[in-house]
Structure 1
Amino acid sequence: MEEKKVTWLELFYDLLFVAAVATATHVLLHVEKGFIHPEYLFKFALIFIPIWWAWTGQTMFINRFGQDFLHQRIFMIFQMFFVLIMISSLSVDFDQYYFSFLIGYIGLRALTSIQYLVVQNFEKGDRKKVARFLGIRFGIGVFISFLSIFFDSWVRYAVLYAGIIVDMILPIIGHKYLVKVPPNTAHLLERFALLTLILFGESVISILAVVQPQKGEWDSILFSIMTFCLIISMWWQYFENVEKKVNKSIQRAGQTIVYGHLFILMSLSMIAASIKLMFLHEVQYTFILYFVFGSVLLYFIATTIVFHQYRFEQHRLKIYHLGLFLGILAVFFTINLFLTVPYIVIIGELTLFFIVYAKVTTT
C-alpha cells in the first residue's frame, strides 16, 4: 500500500476539533442533586456525534483522495472557519445557539461533499464511482439536516439527526462499493491515533486545571499522581497496540476503525469528566461508581473490537482474555458497590486494570 503522510494542516485541523470535544465534555460537569441529569448526558451525545462525524468525514476524504494541492488546502481552511462557528455555538443551552451550530455543521459537511464531487472529475474507474457515490449521498444527508432550520422544539433535532444518521448509514450500505477503493489503513490508524493522543493530552491538562494542590495538600498531590498513572496506562495500551500489534497492510473498508473510535473518543471524555467529578466530590458515590466503570467498560469494548480485526493473527486475543478483563472490572465494581471506598482507591483499581490490559494485549 502506498505510503501516505499526515500533513501539518491536518494536525492543525485536529486541534480545532479537540477544542470542540473539550467543550462537549464540559457538559458532563453539570451536576444536579448529586448526579448528572439525563438531559446533560443526552446533550453530550447530541453535541459530540456531529463533531466526530464532521471530523471523520473530512479525514476519510483525505485518506482516499487527498493530495496536498492548493485547492484542497483552501477547502480545509474554509472548513476551519465553520469549525470555529460550531465551537462558538457549543453550550449547555443548545437551543439558544442552534442556528449558528447548524451553520457550522452544514458548512463542514457540505464542503466535504463538494470535495468528493470535484475530485471525481479527475478520477477513473472505481475511484470515480466511489467519489461520486459519497459526494451525492453525503449531499443528501446534509440537505436533510439543513431542513431542520424550518422546525422548532424537538422536531428540529429529530430532523438534524435524521440527516446525520443517513450520512452514517450510507457508507455501511455502500460497503460493496467502498471496499473496491479501500482506505489507506496505516494513514487511517495514524489519523485516529493522533486525535486520540491529543485527547489524552487534553485530559491531563483539563484534569490538572481542577486537581490543583492547595497549600501542599498531599491528598490532592496523590490524586494527581494516581490520575496521571491511570492516563499513562491507558495511553500505553492504546499506542503500543497501534504501533506493534496491528497489521497496517490489511485493506478493508475501515468502518470498524471509524465507528469504533466514536465510542473510544466518547468514553475518553466521560472518563476525564468522571475524574474531575470524583475530585470535586459533587456527585453521589453510587452514581459516580456506575458512571466511571460504565465509561471504562465502553472504552474497553470499543478498543477490543477496533484492534481485534486488524491484529496480526498470532497476536489476536482469545475468549478467556475477554473473561479475564471483564472479571477484573466486575470484581472491583462489586467490591466498591458493597464497601464504600475513597475515590483515590477507585482510580488505583482502574489503573491496575489498564496495566493488566496493556500487559496482556501488548506482549
Structure 2
Amino acid sequence: MRPRRPDEQHRVASPLELLFNLTFVVAVAAAAAELAHSLAEGHQELAGFLQVFFTIWWAWMNFTWFASAYDTDDVPYRLLTMLQMGGVLVLAAGVPAAAAEADFRLVTLGYVIMRSGQVVQWVRAGVENPEERRTAFRNAAGISLLQVGWLVRLATGETTMLTFVCLAALELTVPWWAQRRRDTGWHPHHIAERYSLFTIILLGESVLAVSNAVRATEVSTGLVVVGVGGLVLLFSLWWLYFLQPAGHGLERRRDRSYVWGYCHFGLFAALAALGAGLEVAVEQTSHHLPISPTSAGYAVAAPAALFVGLLWGVTRTLLARPTLRLSASVVAVVLIALAPLLAPYAGGPLVVVLVAVVCVLAVAVTLVQEAASSPGTTSPHS
C-alpha cells in the first residue's frame, strides 16, 4: 500500500468507490424517511436525525479521504471496503429503532464495523510506509480509542445528546491531530469529484422521496405542482453547487481542506432533510396532517435556505470571490424563509413553487453577474 501521487493525472472515482456510495444511498434514505415521519407527526426530532446522519457522513468522509491517498484497489483493500459497506447496511437497519425508541444498538454496531475496517486500512498503510507510519498509526489509534468510547456510551445507557456531541467533537479532531505534522497525499480534484458525487446522491434521495410519496396517493393538481416545483428546486440547488468546481481551490489552498470538508456536513444534512421535507409537503397536499401548512412549508424552506446560505460560506473557504455572491445568497435565504408564511393563504404547493422560483432567480442572477464581470469570455458553467 504505497501512497498515490496528489498530482496524478486524470484521477477519477474508481468503480469500487461508486459501489461503496450505493450503500450510503440506503443509509441516507433510511434517515430521511424517519425524519419525514417525525416531521409529519409534528415531533420535529432533529436531534436523532443529526446523530444518525453524522455517523453516515463521518464514515463516508474518512473512507473518501483515505482512498484519495491510499487506494491500491488490491484484494485486501477491496475486502476491507466490503466490510465497511456491510457496516453501513447494519447502521441503516438500525435507523428506525434509533428514531422510534432511541435504541442505538444497531446504529452503533454498524458504525463500529465501518470504523474497524478503516482502522485496519490505516494500520496497513503504516506498516507498509515507514515514512508515513507515525501519521497512519496515530489515525488508527485515535479511531480505535473512540470506538471504545462509543461502545461504553451504549453499554452505560448514556445515549444523551451531550455524550454524542463530546464523542463527535473528538472524532473531528482525530485527523487534525494525526496529520498535523505530515499530511496524507490526497488528490484535490479526486476529493472534489467525490463530494460532488455524494451531493448528487443526496439530491437523488429527494427525487426518490417525492416519487415514493406521489405513488402512494391519488394524483391531483396540488401534487403535480409540488412535484414540478420540487424538481425545479432540486435542479436549481444542483446548479448552484456546481457553478464553481472546488478542485482548483483545493489544489491552491490545501490548508483549508479541513474547514471546507467539515462544513459540508451542513450542506449534506440540509439536502437530506430537504428530501424529507418534500415528502411531508406531498403528504400535506394529499391528505390532512397534524401540522399546520406553515410548518409543512418550513419543512421544505428551512433546509433549502440552509443550503443556499451555507454554500456561499463553504465556497468562500477556498476562493476569495465565489461565483455565488454574498448579496445574492442573503437575499435568497430571506425570501425562502418568508415563503412559508403564505401557506395559510395560498396553500402548501405554492410554497414549494415560491422556494423553487427564488432558487431559480439566484441561479440567473449569479450567471448574469459572472458574465458581466468577465465580458468577452465563455464559461462552461453559464
TM-score (norm 1): 0.86
Q: What percent identity do the matched residue pairs reach?
A: 19
Displacement after TM superposition at 1:97 (Å): 4.7
Asked whether the equivalents of residues 28 and 53 of structure 2 are also in contact (C-alpha less than 8 Å), the reply is yes
Which segment is superposed worse, 23-32 or 326-335?
326-335
C-alpha distance 246-211 of structure 1, shift in aligned 2 (>3 A): farther
Q: What's the counterpart of residue 29 of structure 2?
A: 22
Partner of 2:105: 99
Q: Identify which range, 12-21 or 335-344, moves more after superposition.
A: 335-344
Q: Indicate which of 211, 214, 233 corresponds to 2:236.
A: 233
The 5 A counterparts of 1:1-363 are: 1-3=7-9, 4-31=11-38, 36-38=42-44, 40-94=45-99, 95=101, 97-125=103-131, 127-152=132-157, 154=159, 159=163, 162-173=166-177, 176-177=180-181, 180-181=183-184, 183-212=186-215, 217-242=220-245, 246-253=248-255, 254-281=257-284, 282=289, 283-311=291-319, 315-316=321-322, 321-331=325-335, 333-334=337-338, 336-337=340-341, 340-361=345-366, 363=370
Cα pair 2:91 2:107 within 8 Å, conserved? yes
> How many angstroms does 1:259 deviate by?
1.1
Change (3 A) 1:182 1:42: same
Please give the per-residue CA displacement for 1:74-114, whole angstroms capped at 9, x wherever unaligned: 11012122222222111155557532322211111122122
Conserved in 1, the CA contact under 8 Å of 2:270 and 2:304?
A: yes
Gaps of 5+ in 2: 1-6, 371-382
Amino acid at match of 2:133: K
- SS of structure 1 residue aligned to 2:346: coil
Q: How many residues align?
A: 353
Shift of 1:137: 1.5
Distance 1:289 1:100, change over 3 A: closer
Displacement of 1:354 in angstroms is 1.7
Structure 1 counterpart of 2:373:
none
Q: 1:341 to 1:275 in 2, by over 3 A?
A: same
- Answer whether contact 1:86 1:103 (CA < 8 A) is retained: yes
Q: What is the alpha-carbon distance in structure 2 between the residues aligned to residue 213 and residue 27 of structure 1? A: 17
Structure 1 residue 275 displacement after superposition: 1.6
User: C-alpha displacement at 1:132, in angstroms?
Assistant: 2.2
How far, CA to CA, are the matches of 1:289 and 1:225 in structure 2? 16
**Which residue of structure 1 lines up, in the alignment, with residue 379 of structure 2?**
none
Quickly say closer, same or farther: Cα 1:329–1:98, change in 2 above 3 A.
Answer: closer
Separation in 2, partners of 1:117, 1:270? 36
Structure 1 distance, partners of 2:198, 2:236, is 18
1:47–1:100 distance in 2 versus 1, CA, 3 Å: same
- Deviation, structure 1 residue 41: 1.5
Query: Post-superposition shift, 1:161?
Result: 5.1
Does the CA contact (< 8 Å) of 2:302 and 2:337 recur in 1? no
1:190-243 deviation per Cα after TM superposition (whole angstroms, max 9, x unaligned): 111111112212211221121249666333223222211111111122123227
Q: TM-score, normalised by structure 2?
A: 0.82
Equivalent pair of 1:24/1:48 in contact (CA under 8 Å): yes
Tell me the distance in 2 between the aligned counterparts of 1:290 and 1:224: 17
Distance of 2:271 and 2:217 partners within structure 1: 27
- Give the CA deviation at 1:250: 2.3
Moved more, 221-230 or 45-54: 221-230
Letter in 1 for 2:23: L
C-alpha contact (below 8 Å) 1:185/1:248 kept by paired residues: yes
CA RMSD of aligned residues (A): 2.8
